[in-house]
A and B are shown apart, each in its own frame.
Chain A
Amino acid sequence: MAELDTSGGGKHKGGKVRSKKASTRIDLTAMVDLAFLLITFFMLTTTLAKKKEMDLAMPNNTDQKAQLPVAATRTMTILLGSHNKVEWYMGETGKSAPTVDNFGKEGIRKALIENGKNVAATHAAPDNFMIVLIKPSDKSTYENLVAALDEMNITGVKSYAIVKILPIELGDLQKNGLY
């Protein structure tokens, strides 16, 4: 009852000593089966692609004193409209006609790099970096906002902020069918 069957499956009829040798081998098939089953389970339940994070600093609007005067010619304003389109212009609102552009390498990124170079060339160091204002309209999506912030990172814009859009800029977007 309580003893182990150490014979190797009853395959020997004569040799008594040899049967002992075979008995030291354990059949691992079931164990390996189980191990692989568990591996499969754990592989499928773990998240392999870890989510990334993008740090964002909003301007502290409670402190009105911490505001610096900045040349309008150094600022570039990006308006985020609907249909994944953007509009951008340099300088003050209403002074120059905005350009409608797309996201991506040939769109806003090109404009950012070119304008950044222009600003750096026309202003005296050390205040010759471009300042970008991102103004999302109510029709833009979160994806647009993240894409715009990502472009800041890609093009190496040092100074940027998310700013509330002005009614006149909404009118511009409306004119171009982006709002």
Chain B
Amino acid sequence: MPRVKVARKSTFIDMTAMCDVAFLLLTFFILTAKPRVEDPIKAEVPVSSKEKAVPEENLATLTVGGKDQVFYSVTGSDIRAGALTAMGEKYHIQFTPDEVKRFSNIEIFGVPMVQLKSFIDTDPDARKAFPQPGIPTDTTNNSELSNWILTSRQADKALHDRALDIAIKGDKKEQYPMINKVITVLGKQTIFKFSLITDLKMAPKK
């Protein structure tokens, strides 16, 4: 009888160490996790040999891709809320506090002001199916894109007293005129320094 007992015990593996490691890794991944933002359009960025990482805050990103569409995203929900309020005043659209709150959670969008209200009111799960035609852009100083950038910069200045960085995230197959248009919009606001988002080249010095 006692001998049988010993044999049975040996099948039990001590998992304490494994459990420790598993939870250590889990903690690491939870702490470093940053949910991936799904872009409404596939913008495959070109490669370069630059190794400077994109800053994670204080950045407005203009995603250019698809059919010459421009999408806008800015970090910080307070800046987004501030920009929306200012944009509402500019275009005479009243946004309720609830809508401002909902908008401040939208990472990236590409709808004109007239559609923005219905876009915000759409259920977050159904938002993916919402057709986003891109933000209206032209080279004048009063296009919606220009105003979004301007109001975000003003909000950032008022809330944090810092200058908002601008980055262009362009699809590599995008034709130059559209990129030029975006650069011109920035130039009109005397933004002459901005960054282009790229991927690191896999095989350097090809």
| A98–B128 alpha-carbon span in the complex (Å) | 48
Of the candidate stretches A28-36, A85-93, A112-120, the one touching chain B is A28-36
Chain A nearest CB: distance from B48 CB in Å?
A: 4
Closest B residue by C-beta to A137: B176
Chain A nearest CB: distance from B17 CB in Å?
A: 10
Within 8 A of B (CB), among A48-97: 49-62, 80
Does A46 make an interface contact (CB < 8 A)?
yes
Of the candidate stretches A125-133, A142-150, A169-177, the one touching chain B is A142-150
Interface residues on B, range: 35 or more
**Option from B26, B52, B169 in Cβ contact (under 8 Å) with A55:** B52
Chain A nearest CB: distance from B71 CB in Å?
A: 15
- B169 contacts which chain A residues (CB < 8 A)? 51
Contact A145 B176, beta carbon cutoff 8 Å:
yes
- B49 contacts which chain A residues (CB < 8 A)? 150, 153-154
- B206 contacts which chain A residues (CB < 8 A)? 104-105
Does A45 make an interface contact (CB < 8 A)?
yes
Does A16 make an interface contact (CB < 8 A)?
no
Binding site for B on A (CB under 8 A): 11-12, 14, 18, 22, 25, 28-29, 31-32, 35-36, 38-39, 42-43, 45-47, 49-62, 80, 104-105, 136-147, 149-150, 153-154, 162
Binding site for A on B (CB under 8 A): 1, 5, 8-9, 12, 15-16, 18-19, 22-23, 25-26, 29-30, 32-36, 45-55, 64, 167, 169-177, 179-180, 183, 186-187, 190, 192-200, 205-206
29 contacts between A and B (CB under 8 A): A11-B8, A12-B5, A14-B1, A32-B19, A32-B22, A36-B22, A42-B29, A42-B33, A46-B33, A46-B34, A46-B36, A51-B198, A52-B54, A54-B48, A54-B195, A56-B196, A58-B183, A60-B190, A61-B187, A136-B176, A136-B180, A138-B177, A139-B175, A142-B46, A142-B170, A142-B174, A146-B48, A150-B50, A153-B48
